[in-house]
Amino acid sequence: MSERVTVKMVDLQGRKFKIHKMDAMTGAYLLYTLMEKFLPLMLENQVKAGDGPLQDKLPKDRQPMSKQEFTALVKDCLSCVREVTGAGEIPALNENGTWRLNNADHNTPLVLGLVIHSLVFNIGDFFAGGSLKELQSSLQGIFPAPIKM
């Protein structure tokens, strides 16, 4: 069994960043949040309007992610990001959630790139490894009708 990777180096806009693994509770919460917000939307896009029983089962009262929810998600993702400089490592955010990185406050492509890298690195294992299949196996027999994941 190979050793689990806990740090990833990323180059963005000529800068070097180190992304660390999040604690398991934060990672699980982010995965839950993303599944809650985006899975119904992805399913809806796969099913034509009025297309029988599946369309009827999709939640009707879904709410888009609020600005506060989005900001919390971004801050959670950036909490494990550090810029690597000649003077050492600089956290992306200060303890109070304000920017610590130089020139990040108005650099949307950089911030979104770091968020995406952090998400993929921290929750990508769930989809790439056996975790999804293990979850599917453990859910068999719980639901009254056969499900496909």
Using DSSP's 3-state secondary structure scheme, residue 138 falls into helix
pLDDT band at 48 (very low <50, low <70, confident <90, very high): low
Q: Within 10 A of 93 (CB to CB), how many other CB atoms are there? A: 16
Q: How far is CA 41 from CA 3, 36, 45, 54, 113, in A?
A: 36, 9, 6, 13, 22
What's the token pair of residue 67? 């600005």
Confidence at residue 125, expressed as pLDDT on a 0 to 100 scale: 77
N- to C-terminal Cα separation, the chain: 27
Q: What pTM was estimated for this model as a whole?
A: 0.74
pLDDT band at 146 (very low <50, low <70, confident <90, very high): very low
Q: Which tens digit of pLDDT belongs to each residue from 103-132?
A: 999 999 999 999 999 999 998 877 666 555
pLDDT band at 143 (very low <50, low <70, confident <90, very high): very low
